[in-house]
Chain A
Amino acid sequence: MEKFEFTKEELAVIDEIIAKYPNPQPAVMPVLWMAQDKFGHVEPDVQKLVANTLGLPESHVHGVATFYTQYYKERKGKYVLDVCTSFSCQACGAYDTLHYIEDKLGIKAGDTTEDGMFSIQSVECLGACGYAPMMQITNDIYVNHLTKEKIDTVIEDLKKDKLPEFEPIPLVQNREIAQEK
C-alpha cells in the first residue's frame, strides 16, 4: 500500500501555518492544499495524514475535505473540468454545456476518462456568474463564456498539454462595445 508522508521541510512549513492561528483547526485547509499539490488527491489516507499531522480528529478533516469540490477525494484525471452548474450558469445553459462535454469525452460528471486525461465535475458557483456559463480547469484557470466551439478548442489544446490563456474580462461599463450600443 502506498504510504503518505510529509517531509521534514513540509512539516516545518505546516508548523508555520499552524502558528498563524490560535488553534490548529484553521490550518486544515492550507494543509489539505499542500497535500493535494503533493499527492494529487486527498484520498482518505491523505486526510488521515493531515489529521494526524495537525492533531485533529479525522472526522473533522473529512468534513472539510468533502465540503469543497476543489479537494479531490479520489484520484482524478490530469485535467479536471469543473463545470459550474449553479444558478447563473444554469440560466445561461450550463447543463447544455455540461452534457456537451460529457458526450464529447464519453463520461459522466464525477467520472474520469480511461486514459486518465480528463475528469468532469459539476460544481457550485465559482464566483464568475458575470461570465456564465463557465468552467475551471484543475482548480486553476477559468474558461468563460463557454460555447461548443470554445470547448472543442480547449479540449484539443489540453490533449496537447496546452492550457488556455488567461482572458481578462473588463467590467461591462469599460467595454467599448457595451458603450457604443
Chain B
Amino acid sequence: MAEIFIDNNRYEFEGPTKVLQFILDQGLELPFFCYHPSLSIPANCRQCYVEAGQPVMNRETGKYEVDEEGNRVIRFFPKLMTACSLDATDGMVIKTHVTSELVRRGQKDVLEFILINHPLDCPICDQAGECPLQIQTYKYGPEGSRFEHKKVHKPKRIQLGPRVVLDAERCINCTRCVRFTEEVSKSNQLTIVQRGDKNYPVTAPGTEFDDPYSINTVDICPVGALTSSDFRFKARVWEMSSTPSLDITNGKGCSVDVWTRDNLVMRITPRHNPHINDYWMPDAGREAYKIYNENRISRPDLNIDGDKVKSSWNNALLTIAENLDTVKPSEILVLGSGYGSVEDNYVLGKFFSVLGQEQAHFVPNILAGTGDNFLISDDQAPNTNGCRFLGFNELKPDSINKEITSGKYKTIIVLQEDIVGRNLITTQDLSNVFMVYLGTNNNDTSRFANVTIPVTTAIEHVGSYVNVDGRVQRSMPAKETVYTDRRINLEMSMGRLDHFGTRFDNWVSDKNKVDCIPAWEFFVRLAHEMNKEFQYNDVREIISEISLTNKHFSGVSYERMDNELGIDLVNKQKEELNLA
C-alpha cells in the first residue's frame, strides 16, 4: 500500500486522495478555509500551506536514492504547497505547522493578509463561536497586524435574497458560496464581483438569491459574511445545545442538528450524512422550528358543545375509554400517519388490534411535481414508507371522505394527520362521528375533534422515520416537555445554559415546555384505563418488538441507526446477500 509521512509519522493510504483531506481523515488538524469536501477545489485562501516533498528515484535502478545515513533523499517543492489541492503520492513527505517553522510562518502571514480588511467585529457577529476564521486566528494567527491604514469598506447588510444577508466586509472571498450555487444547487445565482480588495459575492443585477437551498451557503461560509435573515442575532452559538435529528418537513428526511435554547428551537442545520443529504438541506426544512415552537397543543382539549375546553389527562382518557366501550371494533376507523413515528404508528395499530380492529389506514400526503429529485421530495411527510412497512392500508386522498360518510364508522382515531386542513374531508362530514385527534399543533382537525390529545414532536421523543428511499433514521429528544428532564434523560444534550442556568435566572424558564406525551405512551395509558393487557415501558421495547416481528425492520436498532447514519430497509436484503 502507498505510504505517506506526515510530521515524521508514517500513514498508509489507498487510491487518489488530496493531502488535506487525508490529514483531516486521520483526525489531524490543518487550518483551511476555501476547501470543502463536496465542492471543487480552487485553492484560493492559501491557508492550508504545507511543506511537501517526494523521494528521489534513480531512474536507472528504479530505486529510491539514499544518503550516507541510509535515509531516503527527499526533494521538496521549492515553495509551500496548498494541501487541499495536492495529490498524495507514494512516499510523499509532508511537514505541517507541527514540524515546520516555515509553515507556521506561512499560516501566520496568510492570516495577517486575510485580516487586513476584515472588520474584526466578532462581538456582534453571529458566526462568533463557530467561526473558522476566529478559531484559526486564535490558533495560528499573528499577534497583531502591521497594517496601519484605513480598512477598505464594502457594502453591509445586503439582502441577497429572502433568506440570506451579506456583510461584504467580513467576506474572505473563499468562493464556497458561489461554488455551492454552481455545483450543488445548480442555480448559478451567485458570483464574485469586482477584484482585489473590493470583491465580494452577489447575484446578477435585478435577480434575487432565492435558491431553495440558499441557507446552506450560510452554513459553509467560513466567516460571518453570510447570515440567515431568520436566525440573525437570535442566539449566540454557545448558548444553544445541539441534538442530532432529521428533517420532518418532507419525505427525504435530511439528517439535521436541532439547536435549542431554553427549550425553544433556535435553528436547524444539516448534519453530514453521505447516504441522504451529504452536507445540505432545503431551506424549507429549517422552518420546522416553527412547528416545534409555535402553536403547540398543550394539555388535552375536549370539545363541549362546540367549545374547546382544556381538560385533565384523566378526564380525556375517561372520555375516550367510554366512547370506545360503546362502539364495535369494526365501527372504529384508525388513521395513522406519515407524520408520526414508526413506533407511534405501530403502537396505534397494535392497540386497536387488541381491541379487535385489525386494520389501520393512512392517507399519504404526496404532492406530485413539488419535488426536485434532490433533497425536496413530492412526499410531504417524513414517514410515509414507515406506514407502508407497518402494513397500514394506503387510502387515496379522495377515498377517506367516502369511507367516513358511508356511515360504517362511529369513532375515528387520527394520529397527527390534519385531515380537515388538507381538505380530505369537511367538518360537516365529520359531525356524525366521534373524533379523537392526537396531534402536535393546533390546526383545523384539532379544533374540530371531540378530544384532542397533545403528543410529542419528533424532537421531544425518540422516534424512527423511514424516508422516501427506505432509509430509517431516528430522532432524539432535544426539547423538554413538562414530563422530561434533560438532567435525567442521558439522551438529551446539555448546552452551557442548560448546565449552569437555574430557575432563578431570567434566561431559563419552564414556559417553553409543552404538556404532551408520546402517542405510544398515551395508548398504554388508555389501555390501563380500559383494563386491557397492553404495556410498553419505553420506546426501545417497541422498536425491538418491531424488529423481531416485522420483516421490513428485521435487525433494526437505535444503536445501528446511530452508528450507520440510518439503515437502508429497502436494499438491506440485497446488501446482506452481497455480503454472503
Contacts and interface: CB of A to CB of B under 8 A. Distances in A.
B194 A44 contact: no
Contacts of B192: 63
A44 B206 CA distance: 8
Which of B188, B203, B205 has the most A CB atoms < 10 Å from its CB? B205
Contacts, number: 41
Interface string B168-191: 000000000000010000001111
A59 B196 contact: no
A124 interface: yes
A124 B196 contact: yes
A60 B188 contact: yes
Interface string A58-70: 1111110011100
A106 interface: no
A62 B191 contact: yes
B158 interface: no
Interface string B185-216: 00011111111100000011111000000000
Contact of B188 (A44, A47, A57, A66): A57
A124 B203 CA distance: 24
Contacts of B190: 59
A62 B193 contact: yes
Nearest to A44: B205
Contacts of B189: 57, 59
A57 B192 CA distance: 13
A62 B194 contact: no
B195 A62 contact: no
Contact of A61 (B181, B195, B204, B206): B204
A74 B277 CA distance: 42
A67 B202 CA distance: 13
Interface in A33-59: 44, 47-48, 51, 57-59
A51 B190 CA distance: 14
A63 B190 CA distance: 9
A57 B204 contact: yes
Contacts of A63: 191-193
A58 B191 CA distance: 9
A130 B196 CA distance: 22
Contacts of B181: 59
Given A59-B188, A60-B188, A44 B193 contact: no
B194 A66 contact: yes
Contacts of B205: 44, 47, 62
A67 B204 contact: no
A47 B204 contact: yes
A66 B204 contact: no
Contact of B207 (A59, A60, A67): A59
A12 B193 CA distance: 29
Contacts of A62: 191, 193, 204-205
Nearest to B186: A57
Contacts of A57: 188-189, 191, 204
A59 B206 contact: no
A124 B205 CA distance: 24
Contact of B191 (A44, A48, A59): A59
B311 to A, nearest CB: 57
Nearest to B195: A67
Contacts of B196: 124
Interface in B511-532: none
A57 B190 CA distance: 9
A68 B205 CA distance: 17
Contacts of B207: 58-59
B191 A60 contact: yes
A11 B428 CA distance: 64
Contact of B204 (A59, A68, A124): A59
Nearest to B196: A124
Interface string B203-245: 1111100000000000000000000000000000000000000
Nearest to B194: A66
A67 B192 CA distance: 9
Nearest to A56: B188
A66 B206 contact: no
Nearest to A43: B205
Which of A47, A58, A61, A124 has the most B CB atoms < 10 Å from its CB? A58
Contacts of B203: 59
B474 to A, nearest CB: 40
Contacts of A59: 181, 188-191, 203-204, 207
Nearest to B206: A44
Contacts of B191: 57, 59-60, 62-63
A32 B225 CA distance: 30
Nearest to A58: B204
A61 B190 CA distance: 11
A66 B200 CA distance: 11
Nearest to B193: A66
Contacts of B188: 57, 59-60
Contacts of B206: 44, 48
Contacts of B194: 66-67
Contacts of B204: 44, 47-48, 51, 57-59, 61-62
Contacts of A66: 193-195
A62 B205 CA distance: 8
A57 B195 CA distance: 19
A27 B190 CA distance: 20
B208 to A, nearest CB: 11
Which of A61, A63, A67, A68 has the most B CB atoms < 10 Å from its CB? A63
Contacts of A67: 193-195
B400 to A, nearest CB: 45
A124 B199 CA distance: 14
Nearest to B189: A59
Nearest to A68: B195
Which of B189, B192, B193, B194 has the most A CB atoms < 10 Å from its CB? B193
B573 to A, nearest CB: 44
Contacts of A60: 188, 191
A60 B201 CA distance: 11
Contacts of A68: 195
Nearest to B204: A58
Which of A51, A60, A62, A67 has the most B CB atoms < 10 Å from its CB? A62
Given A63-B191, A66-B195, 20 more contacts: A44-B204, A47-B204, A47-B205, A48-B204, A48-B206, A57-B188, A57-B189, A57-B204, A58-B207, A59-B188, A59-B203, A59-B207, A62-B204, A63-B192, A63-B193, A66-B194, A67-B195, A68-B195, A124-B195, A124-B196
15 contacts: A44-B206, A48-B206, A57-B204, A58-B204, A59-B191, A59-B207, A60-B188, A60-B191, A62-B191, A62-B204, A62-B205, A63-B191, A63-B193, A68-B195, A124-B195
Interface of B: 181, 188-196, 203-207
Name the 10 nearest CB pairs between A and B, nearest first: A57-B188, A63-B191, A58-B204, A44-B205, A59-B191, A66-B193, A62-B204, A59-B204, A67-B195, A66-B194
